Amino acid sequence: MKSSKEIKIGAILSYVIIFANMIIGVLYTPILTAKLGQSEYGLYSLVTSIISYLTILDFGFGNAIIVYTARYRVNNEKEKQEKLHGMFFLIYTIIGIIAGIIGAFIWLNADNLFANSMSTEEISKAKILLGILTFNLIVTFPLSVFSSIITAYEKFVFAKVLNLARIILNPIIMIVLLNIGYKSVALVILTTVLNVVTLLLNFWYCKAKLNIKLKFGKLDFSLLKEIMAYSVWVFLNSIMDKINWALDQFILGVYAGTVAVAVYSVAGNLNQMYMNFSTAISGVLLPRVTEMEEKKSSDKEFTDIFIKTGRLQYIVMALIMSGFVLYGREFINILWVGPEYDQSYFIACILMIPSTVSLIQSVGLNILQAKNKYKFRVMVLMIFAVMNVIVSIILAQIYGGIGAAIGTAISIVLGQIIFMNIFYYKNIKIDIPLFWKNIFKMSIPMVVAIIIAIIIKQVWTINSSLVLILQIVTYSIIYAILVWNKSMNLEEKNMIKKLIKR
């Protein structure tokens, strides 16, 4: 299969995976919450979020393996590839051991960490889950080298199909186990087994199909230093993301208990699906930015793609966001996970509304990377992330999940909205006032659609799933008509028409 065809099919499969994750998230979450119960679902969410923090020990090396393997392939430097892969296998093995030690430390101190918010039985089960997932991480680190190699060799079809199979199989098998009576321990065992099988298949593919060999010897510290300089900013960005989107659950686990974690986790899942949807939209336009910088494009050209991408994203993201604000509470209570998760609606709104701005400006991150200005963003936003931790700890003790979400929202507003818009305008020379002029003009028909929907809700009470679905469909049609006729320009309409024809 030719590389270009592999890339095209791989790109299609990437979007299939994004949508599969969203669909499974919507369908599987209510089954999981119902079968586990609120307390155990919160416990499961808490432990998985704790273990996810340890994945930052990757240090961004996964990207470095891909970049340097691709570079050596182009120059046909086989021996350098083998030394690179051997070096990273050893490094990742050491990282896996370190992750195991940290996991063991958390396991030993679980009683002290959660004594004020959990029962003895909950702590005991948490330690079992921590043990299994720590083992999962120890195995994952060294074997993850092979998935990076597959990506570097542009074998996207194998990698994406394998990932898609795991995404689909996991909930199907787990639903069977849940119906038999198994709980969270079975869930993490299944996750671990599927993960190990996937990693071993990646190893087999590298050895049998790509003829990959690992050469071990003295570490090349000059190469490692060069790679560290490349990876450190990816690493810091990963820390920032974990603080903003994963740490709240740990804070709630310490101060508020498993039920608060469960409620927050449902809101966090909704926010993650919302963010993933934005990625699916922007991904098709972003590769152009690097090419533009290479051609020394003007500030106006960068402003044009910033506004063009932002407008397209805003059309879709505003529909989802406004639809959730209008109908999200009924969706959660009637159609999805039930009234015991009512507070998830307010937490999700607090997280999703400010996130919308950074999502419709996501092409700006690629412009920063292309212009080599990404480092400064990471350093400044790390300061706001630390502020997020302090504020979230204080507010979580007073207001629970809503307090933790407010801490995150404040950080996003100050850092990713106010600071970044000033930075884009002053340092990158993006015409931010023109961007917001476009967004505000587009918003007028959207506001009209929202007002009509509110009136409909007042006269047509939502008292069943059918009424809720009908109102969501009605709002979507009203929104689409108004936005098509009053918000979208000719270029955007032609783009939609072409997509429909295809």
In this structure, are 214 and 286 located in the same domain?
no
In this structure, are 121 and 265 located in the same domain?
no
Could you list the pLDDT tens digit for every one of the 502 residues in the chain? 455 667 667 767 777 888 888 889 889 999 999 999 999 999 999 999 888 888 888 877 887 888 788 888 878 888 889 999 999 999 999 999 999 999 999 999 999 989 888 899 999 999 999 999 999 999 999 999 999 999 888 888 898 899 999 999 999 999 999 999 999 999 999 999 999 999 999 999 999 999 999 988 777 788 888 888 767 777 888 888 888 888 899 999 999 989 999 999 999 999 988 988 776 555 545 445 556 665 677 888 889 889 988 998 899 899 999 999 999 999 999 999 999 999 999 999 999 999 999 999 988 887 887 777 878 888 888 899 999 999 999 999 999 999 999 999 999 999 999 999 999 999 999 999 999 999 999 999 999 999 999 999 999 999 999 999 999 999 999 999 999 999 998 988 888 887 677 6
**Residue whose pair of structure tokens reads 């996750």 in the numeric block:** 191
Query: b/e string for 410-432 if b means 16 or more Cβ within 10 A?
Result: bbbbbbbbebbbebbeeebebbb
In this structure, are 208 and 270 located in the same domain?
no
Q: What is the dihedral of CA 312, 317, 319, 324, to 10 degrees?
A: 180
> Are 103 and 134 contacting, i.e. CB atoms less than 8 angstroms apart?
yes
- Give the domain extent around 434: 259-502
From 179, 211, 245, the end of a domain falls on 245
The answer to whether residue 292 sits within a structural domain is yes
In this structure, are 216 and 340 located in the same domain?
no
In this structure, are 60 and 155 located in the same domain?
yes
What secondary structure does DSSP assign to 418-451, as a single string? IIHHHHHHHTS---HHHHHHHHHHHHHHHHHHHH
Burial class, 298, CB count within 10 angstroms (exposed 0-12 / middle 13-18 / buried 19+)? exposed
* Residue (of 207, 227, 211) closest to 219 by Cα position: 227
In this structure, are 226 and 353 located in the same domain?
no
Contacts of 233 (CB under 8 A, 6+ apart): 60, 374, 375, 378
pLDDT at 288: 57
From 190, 222, 245, the end of a domain falls on 245
What secondary structure does DSSP assign to 80-122, as a single string? HHHHHHHHHHHHHHHHHHHHHHHHHHHHHTHHHHHTTTS-HHH
3-state secondary structure of 127: helix
In this structure, are 276 and 158 located in the same domain?
no
The answer to whether residue 252 sits within a structural domain is no
CA distance 457 to 471: 8
CA distance 327 to 453: 10
The answer to whether residue 173 sits within a structural domain is yes
* Residue (of 399, 303, 390) closest to 346 by Cα position: 399
- DSSP type of residue 213: -
> Are 150 and 71 contacting, i.e. CB atoms less than 8 angstroms apart?
no
pLDDT at 290: 55
* Residue (of 201, 268, 214) closest to 83 by Cα position: 214
From 197, 213, 245, the end of a domain falls on 245
In this structure, are 272 and 239 located in the same domain?
no
CA triplet 197, 57, 194: central angle to 5 degrees? 15
The answer to whether residue 218 sits within a structural domain is yes
In this structure, are 224 and 341 located in the same domain?
no
The answer to whether residue 250 sits within a structural domain is no
pLDDT at 286: 46
The answer to whether residue 416 sits within a structural domain is yes
The answer to whether residue 253 sits within a structural domain is no
Q: Calculate the CA 455 to chain-centre distance.
A: 35
Return the structure tokens found at 303. Answer: 């402003």
* Residue (of 124, 167, 142) closest to 86 by Cα position: 142
The answer to whether residue 84 sits within a structural domain is yes
Question: Residue type at 369?
Answer: Q
CA distance 35 to 268: 20
In this structure, are 185 and 313 located in the same domain?
no
CA distance 139 to 447: 51
Number of structural domains in the chain: 2
In this structure, are 101 and 168 located in the same domain?
yes
Q: pTM for this one?
A: 0.86
CA distance 42 to 261: 5
In this structure, are 272 and 220 located in the same domain?
no
Return the structure tokens found at 210. Answer: 């790509």
pLDDT at 22: 84
